[in-house]
Amino acid sequence: MCPEMRAAVYHGCEDLRLVVVPEPMVRPGELKLRVLYAGICDSDLHEYYHGPVFSSRSGHPLTSTKIRIILGH
């Protein structure tokens, strides 16, 4: 069974859903940390209220990020 985690997934303007997603696998050269606390920043709020700005349904031209993304960093 694949480990799972909760994540805030952005689906579009003012559409943020807390869902269970598969836990990411660690690849060579990476490490995984257990998150105790998380927050959001201004870019997350801007995306939520005014977006999509940094993402799009077809892929942002600069970042290639598509909607249904996990926010936060």
Q: Note the pLDDT of residue 28.
A: 95
**Main-chain dihedrals φ then ψ at residue 7, nearest 5 degrees:** -150, 145
Burial class (CB in 10 A: 0-12, 13-18, 19+), 47: buried
Taking only the tens place, the pLDDT of each residue in 1-59 is 678 988 889 998 999 999 999 988 899 999 988 888 878 888 889 888 998 887 777 87
pLDDT at 43: 85
Query: Which of the two residues, 22 and 63, has the higher pLDDT score?
Result: 22
